[in-house]
Amino acid sequence: MDFLLSAYEELKQLLDPGIALFIGILSILITKNSYKSSVARERLELVYHPLFLSIEPYLYKEIGAEDLKKFIILFEELELKHSLYIYPSLRYWVKDIKKHTNYSFKKYENDWIIICNYISKEYDKLCKLAYMPLRSTAYRVNNRQYKDNFSLFLGVIKLIWPNLVFITILVFMTSPKLVPIGYLLLFAWLINTSFNH
CB neighbours of residue 32 within 10 Å:
10
Residue 49 near residue 123 (C-beta atoms within 8 A): yes
Question: What pLDDT was estimated at residue 76?
Answer: 94
Of the candidates 119, 107, 105, 132, which has an alpha carbon nearest to the alpha carbon of residue 75? 119
Residue numbers in the chain where pLDDT is lower than 70? 1-5, 7-35, 101, 193-197
Question: What pLDDT was estimated at residue 79?
Answer: 93
Residue 97 near residue 68 (C-beta atoms within 8 A): yes
Q: How far apart, in whole angstroms, are the C-alpha atoms of residue 179 and residue 92?
A: 50
Q: What is the 3-state secondary structure (H, E, C) of 32-70?
A: HHHHHHHHHHHHHHHHHHHHHHHHHHHCCCCCCHHHHHH
Question: What pLDDT was estimated at residue 78?
Answer: 94
Question: What pLDDT was estimated at residue 180?
Answer: 83
Question: What pLDDT was estimated at residue 148?
Answer: 73
| pLDDT tens-digit readout, 25-39 | 666 666 655 567 888
CA distances (Å), origin 106, targets 1, 81, 113:
86, 31, 11
Question: What pLDDT was estimated at residue 80?
Answer: 93
Question: What pLDDT was estimated at residue 45?
Answer: 93
CA 122 and chain centroid, separation: 7
